[in-house]
Amino acid sequence: MNYPAWDVPHIGSGWVIGSIAIFHVMISHFAVGGGLYLPMAESRALKKGRKDWLEFLPNHAKFFLILTGVYGAVSGVGIWFAIGLASPEGTSTLIHNFVFGWAIEWVFFIIELSTAAVYYYTWNRIPERLHLKVGWLYAGASFFTLFIINGILTFMLTPGAAWLEVAGSGQEASRFFQAFFNPTYWPSLFLRTLVCVSLAGLWALVTASRLDGNKQGALKTEVIRWSFGWLLPAFFLMPICFLWYLYQVPESQSQLLGLGISTIGSGTFTQVTRTALITVMTSATILCIAYFVAYRNPREFGFGYAVCLLVLGLAATGSTEKAREMLRKPYVVGEHMYSNGIRKTPVGEPHISEVEKFNSEGYLTQSLWATEEERVAWAEFDHAWNGGVQLASETLGPQVAPETLRRGELMFQGQCLACHTRDAYRSMKNFLRDRDLTSIRNMLGMLHDYKEDSPYRAFMPPLVGTETEREALALYLNEMAHGGEQAQPAEPVHQVARTNN
């Protein structure tokens, strides 16, 4: 436990990142797709000599600039701030490996923002061809921001054999390009590009919906139908790209999705499957509404309908990102670092993984965030334990020493808090409601042993620490769940596993 824990009550740190990321993804992908939409539309209008289009497009460009330039830029920094708070170890690994990747993205980002502003402010003020060039420059720069960030995002799911081979050796820097162009890079790039294109169409429908169907009927019809066309490539090509993507995802990860699909009949979906289904359903609904309401009746297509489409689009992008995140479980960097920041691959000398190290030396002996008094009390507890004194924890319940509970809390903060909260999202109180102390110990034992057939293995990291640290965690969880009261008999382990995944 290198860093202190960032404890976010009720929603957990994951949802803090999620709530920023969902909106950011929607807007940043629009920034890429919209960057292509605007010069293409302008070019079309210029070729056809359509003044009405050229009057409509600056409004869309203004909306585009304010949305992407303000919220897109701030929320992007917001993700940086949030991941640094929630997962400093993971963020540190990414930044030390890819700082120049991000720096390259940053250059494109500066060009992107500058050209977006110039594109809007110089409308009708510079020669048409020059203005169009600015638009194309924006399109290119914004696509390259996607090109770069895609490498880092996909690295987290599939770092690739070449990078994993040297992970923990201090030689990681030498595999920058292999890590960047990792197995899921290209399918993900195609997928995201398709999303960008469809979001450009979706947002354009919002601007077009503001046109007056009676006074500007012809223009509104044309803009809506042309924008509808932007939705189509995604609907036809995304399934193919998605299969390509899944093909590249390691079996250990994709099995969560497969398991969910194969058990749909019995209703035991995995969360990742449920989330992916939301993507499919919302996307299909978008297509239906866009066709039947917008394409077929463009003059009547009002702002309310457009907002509905937007909300569905938000649900689709949000659920897709959520599914991608869950597909990565139990890692934050695939096969290298678990979601709680513990490294699976050996680091430094002696050449053992942090899992083995923490199991033998103790998880909290490495922690910087415990006081000397607490450490003395823990040593006494360990001594009593090692001395063979039977700690009848059931009877200890109400009298568990505060230092022991603190030890358990630190274990919880370090190893569980990245994904769970105490009482709301992925609530530990809920999970443990029907478990007594013995059952909690058993569950923790399974997590610690981390056997090949463990139901937790697919989505949870191993529990690390010495026997007494795990006992402290069990006592803390028991205290949290029951506050010293006796729990109901435990439910079967497989049932809990199903609830968790």
Partner 1 sequence: MDLIPSPDSLGLPAPVWLLLLLHDVTQTIHFLFMNFVLGGSWFLLWLHFGRKVDWKEQLYQRCLSVLPVALSMAITFGIGPLLFVQVLYGQFFYTANIIMGHFWLGLLLILVIAFYLIYVLKAKSGSDDRFSSPILRLTLHLAIALSFTFIALLHTANAVLVLTPEIWEEAYTGSLWGTLLSRSEFLIPRYLHNVVGAIGIGGLWIVWIGNYRGSLNASDQARSGAVMSLVATFIQMILGFWYLAALPTDLVKSLMRFDSTLGWHFASSILVAMPFTVCLFALTVIPCHRLLRWITSGLGALLVFAMVVFSEKLREVLLENYFTLAEWKVDTQWGPILIFLGLFVFGLVVLAWIAWALWKGFGQPGDPSEEISS
Check binding of 6 to partner 1 (CB under 8 A). Answer: yes
Check binding of 374 to partner 1 (CB under 8 A). Answer: no
Q: Cβ of residue 164: shortest distance to partner 1, in angstroms?
A: 14
Q: What's the half-sphere exposure (Cβ side, CA atoms, 13 Å) at 261?
A: 7
The residue among 86 and 206 lying less far from partner 1, judged by its C-beta, is 86
Q: Which stretch binds partner 1 (CB under 8 A): 104-112, 203-211, 227-235, 287-295?
A: 104-112
Strand partners, 338: 331
The residue among 111 and 405 lying less far from partner 1, judged by its C-beta, is 111
Tokens read off for 367: 């922690």
Cα gap 415→410, rounded to integer Å: 8
Cis omega before residue 233 (within 30°)?
no
Cα gap 166→422, rounded to integer Å: 37
Q: Which one of 70, 240, 352, 384 is in contact with partner 1 (CB under 8 A)?
A: 70
Check binding of 152 to partner 1 (CB under 8 A). Answer: no
3-state secondary structure of 333: strand
Handedness of CA 167, 168, 174, 176 (dihedral sign): positive
Check binding of 176 to partner 1 (CB under 8 A). Answer: yes
Binding mask 78-97 for partner 1 (x = CB under 8 A): x-xxx-xx--x--xxx-xxx
Q: Which one of 10, 48, 59, 106 is in contact with partner 1 (CB under 8 A)?
A: 106
3-state secondary structure of 364: coil
Cα gap 20→2, rounded to integer Å: 26
Q: Which one of 40, 46, 54, 118 is in contact with partner 1 (CB under 8 A)?
A: 118
Cα gap 84→229, rounded to integer Å: 40
3-state helix, strand, coil in the chain (%, to 5): 70, 0, 25
Q: Which one of 54, 117, 259, 278 is in contact with partner 1 (CB under 8 A)?
A: 117
Cα gap 326→254, rounded to integer Å: 10
Q: Residue count of the chain, please give it.
A: 501
Check binding of 223 to partner 1 (CB under 8 A). Answer: no
Q: Cβ of residue 81: shortest distance to partner 1, in angstroms?
A: 5
Check binding of 258 to partner 1 (CB under 8 A). Answer: no
Check binding of 77 to partner 1 (CB under 8 A). Answer: yes
Block residue for tokens 């980002």: 109
The residue among 179 and 272 lying less far from partner 1, judged by its C-beta, is 179
Check binding of 162 to partner 1 (CB under 8 A). Answer: no
The residue among 117 and 493 lying less far from partner 1, judged by its C-beta, is 117
The residue among 74 and 261 lying less far from partner 1, judged by its C-beta, is 74
Check binding of 4 to partner 1 (CB under 8 A). Answer: yes
Cα gap 179→158, rounded to integer Å: 8
Check binding of 172 to partner 1 (CB under 8 A). Answer: yes
Q: Which stretch binds partner 1 (CB under 8 A): 230-238, 293-301, 367-375, 402-410?
A: 367-375
User: What is the phi/psi pair of residue 364, to 5°?
Assistant: -85, -10
DSSP secondary-structure letter at 300? G
Say how many residues touch partner 1, by CB under 8 A.
Answer: 70
Cα gap 466→408, rounded to integer Å: 12
Q: Cβ of residue 385: shortest distance to partner 1, in angstroms?
A: 23
* Interacting positions 124-143 with partner 1 (CB under 8 A): 125-127, 130, 134, 137, 141
Q: Cβ of residue 154: shortest distance to partner 1, in angstroms?
A: 17
Block residue for tokens 């960032």: 6
Q: Cβ of residue 182: shortest distance to partner 1, in angstroms?
A: 15
The residue among 104 and 280 lying less far from partner 1, judged by its C-beta, is 104
Tokens read off for 343: 């490294």
Residue 432 · residue 480 · CB < 8 Å = yes
Residue 305 · residue 208 · CB < 8 Å = no
Residue 393 · residue 482 · CB < 8 Å = no
Cα gap 224→208, rounded to integer Å: 6
Check binding of 349 to partner 1 (CB under 8 A). Answer: no
Q: Which stretch binds partner 1 (CB under 8 A): 123-131, 216-224, 264-272, 404-412?
A: 123-131
Check binding of 147 to partner 1 (CB under 8 A). Answer: no
Cα gap 294→304, rounded to integer Å: 12
Check binding of 413 to partner 1 (CB under 8 A). Answer: no
What does the binding site for partner 1 look like in residue numbers (CB under 8 A)?
Answer: 2-6, 8, 16, 66, 69-71, 73-78, 80-82, 84-85, 88, 91-93, 95-97, 99-104, 106-111, 113-115, 117-118, 121-122, 125-127, 130, 134, 137, 141, 168, 170-174, 176-177, 347-348, 368-372
